[in-house]
Amino acid sequence: MKLNNKNNNGRRKFIKGTTAVMALSSLGTYAFEYGPKDKPWQVGLIGCGWYGKSDLFRLIQVANVDVVSLCDPDDNMLNEAAELVKQRQQTGKKPKTFNDYREMLSKQKLDIVLIGSPDHWHALQGIEAMKSGAHVYLQKPISVDVIEGEALVAAAKKYNKVIQVGMQRRSTPHLIDAKKNIVDAGLLGKVSHIEICCYYHMRDKGNRPIVDVPENFNYDLWTGPAPLREFDGIPHRRWRAFMEYGNGIVGDMCVHMFDTVRWMLGLGWPKRVSSYGGIYIQKEAKANISDTQTAIFEYEELNCIWEHRSWGTAADPEYPWAFKIYGDKGTLHGSVQKYDFIPQGEGEKKHKDVLYERDEYPEDLTEKGIELHVAPATRGHMIDFLKAIENNTSPIADIEQGHISAASCILANMSMKLGRPLIYDHKKMIVKDDPEATKLLARNYRGPWVHPHPNSV
């Protein structure tokens, strides 16, 4: 695969022995260029914040693309991103900029749209991007409510478009190794218990005063279908502290680890979801997401238990954001940084660390805000996405898998709110024997935005 980064000076023509090949080793080594041979993929990005730009730069590193448009309601962020893309892409062209994604999608003919906006926008923007004719790389979680997710699944089928969900643990080299050489090799035996957790102190503790909206920021457009909160400063990265825009730490962090263990073990929809918790410690902050929460995802003879605390110490300091899969023959501990296998009784312990690619991609070292340990996984995830487009196949984190993981986490928050377990029937799109919970599957939209439904996409 030809590499197209303005800074590579022609030094890296093909991926050889790097993460992308390792992540897809069963498919063979790539020695061809993705996309149309007469021109590069035409790419647009919606949401030019931290992770939107990071995803886009990983795509630029591994594929022949021309980033032609960017969209964000913050002019300062938008213009900064346009300059960075001009420097990073091989064409040296500056993308056109838009504040409203609807205008961008109507005026630009795009092959691929990356969506890195806040969670409350994912469904509407993903559906409209597919309607415009583009394939979509959609950041996780795919939705804020369950019916949004069902609508995305329906739209992908209707428009025959590929969606790769940004759950790149499925493309993380050391976790691929763990799945192949530990889980699939049968070293765990029968698995009947899973623990997943996050003990990062990541909940916003601020209590900021109300201020005027700056001229460079279209707050009404940024808010879109979500409730219009009082403005206490541009909410970039702080929006995760509010349930109006997402699903708290469960929707942000649990979805990754829950998706990872589902992928490793081939798990589908949980039979039942229950959760309890709340704001127990950090009561002084404006944030309305839980600071303490436990969720249980039940399968046949297997429980997957999530726990987070945004205060105190981690249960296991070696694995503060992690999964632990317990089998009768051994236990697998895993995180974004490493994995450890501990056999029951005699046997060989196994350990593997995260793969870095500092030498292969030196430009990573100067990129603001980059997660170096995640970059190789995202590159592999992008390659898998492009391969699925070319072959009209499902990517490793397709929209249906993204929906199961996201919806299960949403159901956990619903269970905590209602104080009872929930059983979701995804075929009928109802919570069984629970009309009150069924009503919560689709949130209210702020007008004039209209909530999508799988029957009307």
In a domain, 451, yes or no: no
Q: What is the pLDDT of residues 284-323, one digit of tens each?
A: 999 999 999 999 999 999 999 999 999 999 999 999 999 9
370 and 264 part of one domain: no
In a domain, 341, yes or no: yes
319 and 381 part of one domain: no
SS (H, E, C) the chain: CCCCCHHHCCCCCCCCCCHHHHHCHHHCCCCCCCCCCCCCEEEEEECCCHHHHHHHHHHHHHCCEEEEEEECCEHHHHHHHHHHHHHHCCCCCCCEEECCHHHHHHHCCCCEEEECCCHHHHHHHHHHHHHCCCEEEECCCCCCCHHHHHHHHHHHHHHCCCEEECCHHHHCHHHHHHHHHHHCCCCCCCEEEEEEEECCCCCCCCCCCCCCCCCCECHHHHHCCCCCCCCCCCCCCCHHHCCCCCCHHHHHHHHHHHHHHHHHHCCCCCCEEEEEEECCCCCCCCCCCCCEEEEEEEECCEEEEEEEECCCCCCCCCCCEEEEEEECCEEEEEECCEEEEEECCCCCCEEEECCCCCCCCHHHHHCCCCCCCCHHHHHHHHHHHHHHHHHCCCCCCCHHHHHHHHHHHHHHHHHHHHCCCECEECCCCEECCCHHHHHCCCCCCCCCCCCCCCCCC
Q: What would the mean pLDDT of 247-261 be, rounded to a whole number?
A: 98
290 and 435 part of one domain: yes
In a domain, 95, yes or no: yes
246 and 342 part of one domain: yes
Q: What is the pLDDT of residues 59-89, one digit of tens each?
A: 999 999 999 999 999 999 999 999 999 999 9
Q: What is the pLDDT of residues 409-435, one digit of tens each?
A: 999 999 999 999 999 999 999 999 999
In a domain, 215, yes or no: no
**pLDDT-based confidence at 19, cuts 50/70/90?**
very low
| Ordered alpha helix ranges (H), 42-115 | 50-62, 75-88, 101-107
176 and 48 part of one domain: no
294 and 277 part of one domain: yes
Q: What is the pLDDT of residues 364-397, one digit of tens each?
A: 999 999 999 999 999 999 999 999 999 999 999 9
pLDDT for the residue numbered 167: 98
15 and 110 part of one domain: yes
Question: Domain containing 193 — which CATH number?
Answer: 3.30.360.10
- Report the number of distinct structural domains present in the chain: 2
Question: Domain containing 118 — which CATH number?
Answer: 3.40.50.720
Whole-number average pLDDT of the chain: 92
Q: Is the pLDDT of residue 232 over 50?
A: yes
pTM for this one?
0.92
In a domain, 221, yes or no: no
In a domain, 216, yes or no: no
237 and 306 part of one domain: yes
293 and 427 part of one domain: yes
In a domain, 38, yes or no: yes
Q: Is the pLDDT of residue 2 over 90?
A: no
Q: What would the mean pLDDT of 435-450 be, rounded to a whole number?
A: 98
| Percentage of the chain modeled with pLDDT above 90 | 90
In a domain, 40, yes or no: yes
187 and 82 part of one domain: no
Q: What would the mean pLDDT of 140-155 be, rounded to a whole number?
A: 98
159 and 288 part of one domain: no
Q: What is the pLDDT of residues 316-363, one digit of tens each?
A: 999 999 999 999 999 999 999 999 999 998 889 999 999 999 999 999
Q: Is the pLDDT of residue 1 over 90?
A: no
Domain range for 199 is 172-206+229-356+403-439
268 and 410 part of one domain: yes
